[in-house]
A and B are shown apart, each in its own frame.
Chain A
Amino acid sequence: MKKLAVFSVLALLTLLYLLPFGLASAMDVNEIVEKANLASYYAGDDGIANAAMKIYDSQGRIREREFKILRKDVEDGGEQYYYVYFFRPGDVRKTVFMVHKHIDRDDDRWLYLPALDLVKRIAATDKRTSFVGSHFFYEDVSGRSPQDDNHELEKETDKYYILKNTPKDADIVEFSYYYVWIDKNTFLPMKAEYYDKGGKLYRRMTVLSVKNIQGFPTVVEAKMEDLNSGGYTILKFLKVQYNKNIPKRIFTERYLRRPPRKYIRR
């Protein structure tokens, strides 16, 4: 009887030890990608954060950006709205950038220039251009659609799934492939390395800090390096809040022209 109990405990422990590993190993690569996409871009139904960027050029000169970012998901993994309100620098103060992210077609992007009271519509074909002069691209901020790449599970360590991602349409992107290190617990991509058409590593994203906010593991500090020029950008998210019930109407022309004070206080 005693033997059986010991055996049972051992069996249970073995099982407990093996179970997550075993299950995870069996995890399909697309499922990993899907989970990573949700973890990094769809936490909660909506989110608010203050973002602070420090952009370092190759000569060590620093430029800073400070903005508020609001996000609302229409559905998990699907359409999303983004609203970005700039505090700094002075030449873009009070400027608003708004995106309606679509899955089946190009995103809709607007820019509001307060000095002219002008609502501008921006063509959104190229998402791999610098976001506000930083080393992050638009796509890094709002997420690259998982459907745009083919994914392979290159390697699995005890902490990470290492995925190799190859673009389906190589002509519209500047990389030939990139690797992503996805944390097995949180499914947050912790590192990404981009290789150019010549197979040379030229761009690297590294997560510097993750915090648990309202039960959601959240990247609060990340670094993006341009290895060719030596420049890099540090992005910090402060005052992150989820599930604030941001109404859908915030993401319309009304609030482009008249920022929703309740949500964008510094």
Chain B
Amino acid sequence: MALAKQGKCYISYLYFLALLIFFFGRMPVFAMSVLEDLSGFFETSGSYRVVDNDLAKTDWLLGEVRLQLDYTKDTDDFTISLKPEFIFDGTDRELHFNFRESYILLPLDALDIKLGRQIITWGTGDFVFLNDVFPKDWQSFFLGRDDEYLKKPANAIRWTLFFDKFSVDIAWLPFFTPDQFISGERLSYYNPLSGSLSGPLNPEIDPDYPDTEIENGEIAARIFGTLGSWEIAVYGYRGRWGVPSGFDVDKNKPFFPHLEVWGSSMRGPIAGGIFNAEVAWYRSLDDLNGSDPYVPNSEFRWLLGYSHEIAADQSIGVQAYMEHLLDYSQYKKSGGNRDRERLWLTLRYTGLFMQQNLTLSFFGFFAPIEKDLYCRPKISYKYSDNITVTLGANVFFGVESSTFFGQFEENTNIYARIRYFF
């Protein structure tokens, strides 16, 4: 599927180029004004696997050159934002084009409407998601692309309504937008059906995607407000699991089961730090009583977090996050082998040095029940206002190869990136 998508991207790239030539050629004045509003970055990045992996033919996980343009047109009546990206990918040796963002924002009196391709984020988790059910790109995250690429854009309409005491956010994704999950294309993963690791040399996951029809869309809503210094929110979602966690026995293909999520969160200051708490009830609509072994069970998720400055320009953040499987006895009876609880303890450290030009950071996931971990150390230096150099690693470790992070152990990588802003 990835290849088919890339083919499409190539065509849209040509189309975009033709459009550019058309506009720039015919309207030099317009072009000048566009150029004035144009910014963006040019980036080269590489990621290298440092652990032996029998399933991979190359140790290069990533080698790409990326150009992101950012054009914003602001008027009193609307804002247009376009962020085209051109990527030359050294791994598949192809040129890709896509829009990171392309939306129009209509600010009305007590209503903002954002229409088009956009990134949507809400919830209080730091790299853990409960009520943020919007598309993620786990592959980019694990490969060592910039953090921002963890969020995958979606074609959506977002309405935000403002009242005196609270506000309401509604995001409608007319067509289901899955996560960029680990398909085996670059990163190997544990395949529970075969009971072994699958990787780049094996066929990748090719799930059954829902038809591009309105009834297969997703809708998410949030009611939010503040009480003093505290932010409080209630959430709801109806759509599908972002990863193909179901298996259709008839078609012999993974699929994206239906999902409904209800939850709430709060965030505010305690003892000089920021505390956050969030809960979410994941209702797996295709298997509400938990008896179908091929569809994930419902879950209850909770999160507690606290972040605090420990010295000037240095801060620590800790989180405890749990996924608690519901109807566990049914799950066990139908042959499931996962632990009931998945607990992640996370630690974030961020330190700014040398007049804030040098950033040292660490983010770690530690799972005491599954006995695996995932660490993201990073060092980043602003050589000048325009040039930032980043070095980092994605370290996976697990006692067993079937656990969430343990399965990626052989994908442990180091990466480097240089980004030029203009």
Contacts and interface: CB of A to CB of B under 8 A. Distances in A.
Interface of A: 55, 57, 61, 63-64, 88-91, 93, 100, 105-106, 108, 113, 115-119, 121-126, 128-130, 132-133, 231, 249, 252-254, 257-258, 261-262, 265
Nearest to A174: B312
A93 B83 CA distance: 14
Contact of B120 (A57, A117, A231, A262): A117
A129 B313 contact: yes
Contact of B267 (A61, A121, A249, A252): A121
Given A90-B40, A121-B267, 13 more contacts: A61-B384, A90-B386, A91-B388, A93-B421, A100-B229, A118-B121, A123-B272, A126-B309, A126-B311, A129-B313, A130-B355, A252-B226, A258-B112
Given A90-B385, A91-B388, A254 B121 contact: no
Nearest to B118: A117
Which of B167, B274, B382 neighbours the largest number of chain A CB atoms within 10 Å of its CB? B274
A130 B309 contact: no
Interface of B: 39-41, 70, 74-76, 79, 105, 107, 112, 114, 118-121, 147-148, 150-151, 160, 162, 167, 224, 226, 229, 231, 267-269, 272-274, 276, 307-309, 311-313, 315, 352, 355-357, 382, 384-386, 388, 419, 421-422
A132 B165 CA distance: 33
A227 B343 CA distance: 50
Contacts of A249: 162
Contacts of B40: 90
A113 B121 CA distance: 10
Contacts of A89: 385-386, 421
B388 A116 contact: no
Contacts of A63: 357, 382, 384-385
A116 B151 contact: yes
B422 A90 contact: yes
Contacts of B226: 252
B385 A64 contact: yes
Nearest to A108: B229
A64 B421 CA distance: 13
A208 B74 CA distance: 35
Nearest to B419: A91
Contact of B76 (A55, A130, A262): A262
18 contacts: A61-B384, A63-B385, A89-B385, A90-B40, A115-B119, A116-B150, A116-B151, A119-B121, A123-B273, A123-B274, A123-B308, A124-B269, A128-B312, A133-B356, A252-B226, A258-B107, A258-B114, A258-B160
A108 B269 contact: yes
Contacts of B167: 253-254
Given A90-B386, A258-B112, A132 B107 contact: no
A115 B162 CA distance: 23
Contacts of B39: 90, 93
Contacts, number: 106
3 cross-chain pairs, A with B, having the tightest CB-CB distances, nearest first: A90-B421, A133-B356, A89-B385
A116 B269 contact: no
Contact of B272 (A125, A130, A253, A265): A125
By secondary structure, the B interface counts as strand
Contacts of A90: 39-41, 385-386, 421-422
A205 B224 CA distance: 42
A65 to B, nearest CB: 8
A116 B272 contact: no
Contacts of B268: 121
Contacts of B309: 123, 125-126
Contact of B357 (A123, A129, A133, A265): A133
A130 B356 contact: yes
A249 B160 CA distance: 14
A261 B272 contact: no
B179 to A, nearest CB: 15
A231 B354 CA distance: 11
A108 B315 CA distance: 16
Given A116-B147, A254-B112, A261-B79, A123 B386 contact: no
A117 B151 CA distance: 9
B314 to A, nearest CB: 9
A91 B267 CA distance: 27
A231 to B, nearest CB: 7
Contact of B315 (A115, A123, A265): A123
B275 to A, nearest CB: 9
B85 to A, nearest CB: 12
B83 to A, nearest CB: 9
B158 to A, nearest CB: 10
B305 to A, nearest CB: 10
A49 to B, nearest CB: 19
Given A88-B385, A90-B39, A133-B357, A261 B76 contact: yes
Contacts of B160: 254, 257-258
A57 B356 CA distance: 12
Contacts of B307: 123
A90 B385 CA distance: 7
Given A89-B421, A133-B357, A106 B269 contact: yes
Nearest to B160: A254
B229 A55 contact: no
A18 to B, nearest CB: 48
B121 A116 contact: yes
Contact of A116 (B74, B119, B421): B119
Which of B41, B276, B309 neighbours the largest number of chain A CB atoms within 10 Å of its CB? B309
Contacts of A129: 312-313
Contact of B148 (A116, A132, A265): A116
B352 to A, nearest CB: 8
Contacts of A265: 74
Which of A93, A123, A129 neighbours the largest number of chain B CB atoms within 10 Å of its CB? A123
Contact of B356 (A106, A119, A123, A132): A132
Nearest to A87: B39
B49 to A, nearest CB: 27
Contacts of B276: 121
A202 B18 CA distance: 59
Contacts of B224: 253
Nearest to A226: B355
